[in-house]
Amino acid sequence: MTRRRLLLGFFALLSLVACGPKGSYKNIGPEELYQAVGTGAVIVDVRTPQEFAQGHVPGAVNLPLQEIAAWADKLPKDKPLIVHCVGGDRSSTAISALLSHGFRNALNLTGGIKAWQEASFPVEKGEELVSA
């Protein structure tokens, strides 16, 4: 990716986040997430470690939903957070919890990793988990 494309993607994400009312979040599609990879946005995969190992968005961190109390306050509040799961249920729950912790920069990947894969974007596989 070129530096200009990275900057444009980052500012597009910031505008999505900034335009949302407090207490709510925006949904984005796989194309917007693809543009965000490498821009400084934090991609949070809230699936189990086993699901994460089967395939995840490049650069994503695996922070399982059931452990949200342990990791929610460790995430940066000054960067966009893009949260996803398989299809959107767990990520919506995670974002609601993040909003209650004062986050105002959370985005939800509509359709989750399924939508990402259906759009033919790359996935990384393996059991090496990345932490925040």
Catalytic residues: 85
Place of tokens 């980052």: 10
No. of H helices and E strands in the chain? 6, 5
**Amino acid symbol at 98:** L
Residues 6+ apart with CB under 8 A from 6: 38, 39
Place of tokens 């986040």: 17
Both structure tokens of 28: 């984005």
* CA–CA separation, 34 and 26 (whole Å): 16
**Amino acid symbol at 16:** L
* CA–CA separation, 28 and 127 (whole Å): 27
